[in-house]
Structure 1
Amino acid sequence: MPFALYLLAMAVFAMGTSEFMLAGLVPDIAADLGVDLASTGLLTSAFAIGMAVGAPVMAVLARNRPVRSSLLVFVAVFLAAHIAGAVTGEFTVLVATRVVAALANAGFLAVALTAATGLVPADRRGRALAVLLSGTTMATIAGVPGGALLGAVFGWRVTFWAVALLCVPAAIGVLTGIPARVREAENRGPGLAAELAVLARPRLMAVMLLGALVNAATFAAFTFLAPLVTDRAGLGELWVPAALVLFGIGSFAGVTVAGRLSDARPGAVVAVGGPLLCAGWFATAVCADRPTVLLVLVFVQGALSFAIGGTLITRVLYEAAAAPAMAGSYATTALNIGAAVGPVVAAIALGTRLGSLGPVVSSGVLVAIALLVASCCRAVLGGRPAEAALTA
């Protein structure tokens, strides 16, 4: 894999830390800013909405600009948003900074996904994507638990400052390692109207829907993992970072394995992993009061969630191969529609009699719906699209 991919992954690590870090900070932010737990959890949805809306918009704005300069602008805006979030005392301002950061993250990821696929042969997109997503999984292993630990010891604002500092080496990596014009060949490709028309293809819409549902399940449970660990399992606050580390290690294993299978055998990944993922969320709800079992399940669910999610991102890129400049934004939008919906569903479930078990139960239901959709459109997961589509 080209070294530039690993530099992109480093930047994704910084942004992934921010996207996931609220899972360990929700209780502290709620107490500090005087809002309830469910409302604070919706900060994750605000970020995801900004990602979902921002991905295609930012991709359009950046499609005819040099890749390196676009990525640097997005990193700079992301950094500034976290500084503003670290100093504010108003919940509404914090929400606004999350939306701005999400727009920058969306633009970066949309361009980075396209750039990553442009750096490797067409039949290695899944492996290239696995390298890029390793930045996200490393964020769940090190960045997010580290942020939760910083928040527990020094307060949640220190975590925002830490993310801002992470943006500095990320920017240096982009500046020194990414070619100024990765996408020169793609700039001679189809026009914007033709790329947007790809969204009318049923196969693409089906796999985007699957990605949204699976990611909704992941974020529904992950956003409210902290109260599950402390309330149901009865573990101390410092066990929250430990649970996040386990989820992150699992996600790294899952995306690594899936990266070697998603190009040629995506159907097998979903057919085997999907039912296990669904059953695992319900098992998590049943066994939440058993700390050892809960922690094992957190690892397993992280692996399954990212194996299936990573495979579906790869399928989006294959199905949108005729839209080379916009394909990354379509994948980003699909996943973040799920990331926006999941915490909302989980917050509603949190207010039911299920209490802190509600989010993981809702995750199981969302994966079950995804499996029903997948059973109706198995052809889209049957292998690579036609070779002509890959080279369009």
Structure 2
Amino acid sequence: MPLGLLALAIGAFGIGLTEFVIMGLLPDLAADFGVTEAAAGWFISGYALAVAVGAIALTAAATRLPRKPVLMGLLGLFIAGNAVSALAPTYEAMMAGRIIAALCHGAFFGIGAVLAADLVAPAKRAGAIAIMFTGLTAANVLGVPFGTFLGQQYGWRSTFWVISAIGVVALIGIAALVPSTRTMAAGTNIAGANGAAPAPSLRRELGAFRSGQVWLSLTVTVLGFGGMFGAFTYIAYTLTEVSGFAATDVPWLLVLFGAGLVVGNWIGGKLADRSIDGTLLGFIATLVVVLAMLGWLAALPVAVIVLLVLMGGFGFGTVPALQSRVMRYADQAPTLASGANIAAFNIGNALGAFAGGLAISAGLGYTSPIWVGAIITAAALLVMVVAWSTARAGAPSAERADAATRVTTTTGAIATSAL
């Protein structure tokens, strides 16, 4: 494994920690700044919106610049944003720190995914992306409980100082371990016919969006992740009000969910290196079943524990394949499309949370967001079937036969592993 992937994973860990640890610190922030919990909740919503904006705007602005220095600059922005949060004397200053840190989030993962793919041979790109995103999953499993504990023991500001320090470590690691574009593995998707990378061009990057497959991929990302997060956003209410768990059990149940994320991300990356579309079809179809069973069996604690792990695994297991797919169909200009896919993840998060909230407000109960999530995920599956069939129809006959074989093999392997 190239050591540069480890540096990228550390950066992903820090950024993931910034995004998710705030959930455990909201009561302390609300009390410290003298605002309601709803107002404190904007530290989450504002962050997500800024991620979507930064994923497109900063990636587009940096198109003509070398990727490694851009990634280092983004980490500098991340460190500054968390330092502002740690020092924030007012609610407004804290919000500013959150937005500054969020702006780098989408661009970091978008550009970092391209760099990760370029560090390895073409057949191992999805696995390389999965290694980078392991940092994000580790942030859920290890970082969030530790960051919440740290904030509760030493004050919430200490958590943001530690996150800033993690950013410094990642910055040093990328500077030392990630090679420049010209020295990356031969045969990368940014190389031209003579082996040299084409000159960066915003026009070329925007041209990637002329591909219908890029738009289908982005739609699958929005709906697939939207469905999972529609269920996950309100899962604490389901666990306590329907499943009968105590409130003190929720953090440890979320650690189990996070463990599912880690395993699913690793398996998804491995399978996506064999067949991107087959992995997505298998994982998304299984996620629909898992969500439906969770909605049906929510009153049974043992079933809920198992299904919570599976929801994390099959939900996040799609990430390497989704990121790889959009980069594949934007192969001559993958950077902006990769950033757009990160924005799509966050749009999906917002969509799922909004739809799940509407269901609860309509009086449909605390399992209703899970059923809404299952419906949205089923829509993602339909779009993925369209994307796969149209891609297969446009491929040469021999390639279509090979693709069909890989889809069948991968889907069977996923179904077997789910038993």
- TM-score normalized by the length of structure 1: 0.86
Q: CA deviation digits over 1:174-230, x for unaligned, max 9?
A: 222122445896763462212201102111100110011112223333333344434
What residue number does 1:12 align with?
A: 12
Match for 1:225: what amino acid? I
What does 1:27-176 align with in structure 2 at a 5 Å threshold?
29=29, 40-41=40-41, 43-88=43-88, 90-151=90-151, 156-176=156-176
| CA drift at 1:129 | 0.9
Q: CA deviation digits over 1:54-74, x for unaligned, max 9?
A: 122212232333333322221
Deviates more, 1:289-298 or 1:252-261: 289-298
CA contact (8 A) 1:149 1:241 kept: no
Match of 1:320 among 322, 326, 330: 330
Q: Distance in 2 between matches of 1:366 and 1:264?
A: 27
Q: Distance in 1 between matches of 2:127 and 2:349?
A: 23
Match of 2:210 among 193, 200, 203: 200
Structure 2 unmatched runs, 5+: 185-190, 397-419
Q: CA RMSD in A?
A: 3.0
What does 1:345-364 align with in structure 2 at a 5 Å threshold?
345-364=355-374
Residue 215 in structure 1 maps to residue 217 in structure 2 = no
Match of 2:264 among 254, 268, 280: 254
Alpha-carbon distance change, 281 to 149 in structure 1, aligned in 2, over 3 angstroms: farther
> Which protein is bigger by CA-based radius of gyration?
2
Alpha-carbon distance change, 89 to 287 in structure 1, aligned in 2, over 3 angstroms: farther
Q: Distance in 2 between matches of 1:96 and 1:198?
A: 33
| CA drift at 1:12 | 0.5
Give the number of equivalent residue pairs. Answer: 387
Deviates more, 1:149-158 or 1:327-336: 149-158
Q: Secondary structure at the match of 2:21?
A: helix
CA contact (8 A) 1:275 1:371 kept: yes
Match of 2:340 among 330, 346, 350: 330
Deviates more, 1:145-154 or 1:320-329: 145-154
| CA drift at 1:270 | 2.8
CA contact (8 A) 2:150 2:156 kept: yes
| CA drift at 1:336 | 2.3
Deviates more, 1:365-374 or 1:187-196: 187-196
Alpha-carbon distance change, 64 to 197 in structure 1, aligned in 2, over 3 angstroms: closer
CA contact (8 A) 1:22 1:44 kept: yes
CA contact (8 A) 1:267 1:382 kept: no
Q: CA deviation digits over 1:90-117, x for unaligned, max 9?
A: 5554444322211112222222112112
Match for 2:53: what amino acid? V
Alpha-carbon distance change, 27 to 287 in structure 1, aligned in 2, over 3 angstroms: farther
Match for 2:164: what amino acid? A
Q: CA deviation digits over 1:268-289, x for unaligned, max 9?
A: 3233322321232233334334
What residue number does 2:401 align with?
A: none
Alpha-carbon distance change, 304 to 33 in structure 1, aligned in 2, over 3 angstroms: farther
- TM-score normalized by the length of structure 2: 0.81
What does 1:275-294 align with in structure 2 at a 5 Å threshold?
275-294=285-304
What residue number does 2:253 align with?
A: 243
What residue number does 2:411 align with?
A: none
Q: Distance in 1 between matches of 2:39 and 2:299?
A: 25
Q: Secondary structure at the match of 1:120?
A: coil
CA contact (8 A) 2:110 2:338 kept: yes
Structure 1 unmatched runs, 5+: 387-392
| CA drift at 1:53 | 1.8
> Percent identity among equivalent residues?
31
Alpha-carbon distance change, 26 to 361 in structure 1, aligned in 2, over 3 angstroms: farther
CA contact (8 A) 1:284 1:360 kept: yes
CA contact (8 A) 1:259 1:310 kept: yes
| CA drift at 1:355 | 4.9
Alpha-carbon distance change, 203 to 105 in structure 1, aligned in 2, over 3 angstroms: same
Q: Distance in 2 between matches of 1:224 and 1:281?
A: 13
Q: Secondary structure at the match of 1:64?
A: coil
Match for 1:336: what amino acid? N
CA contact (8 A) 2:110 2:336 kept: yes
Q: Secondary structure at the match of 1:139?
A: helix
What residue number does 1:310 align with?
A: 320
Match for 1:128: what amino acid? A
Q: Which of structures 1 and 2 has the larger relative contact order (alpha carbons within 8 angstroms, sep 6+)? A: 1
| CA drift at 1:245 | 1.6
Q: Secondary structure at the match of 2:64?
A: coil
CA contact (8 A) 1:152 1:238 kept: no
CA contact (8 A) 1:20 1:140 kept: yes
Alpha-carbon distance change, 156 to 234 in structure 1, aligned in 2, over 3 angstroms: farther
What residue number does 1:389 align with?
A: none
Alpha-carbon distance change, 232 to 147 in structure 1, aligned in 2, over 3 angstroms: farther
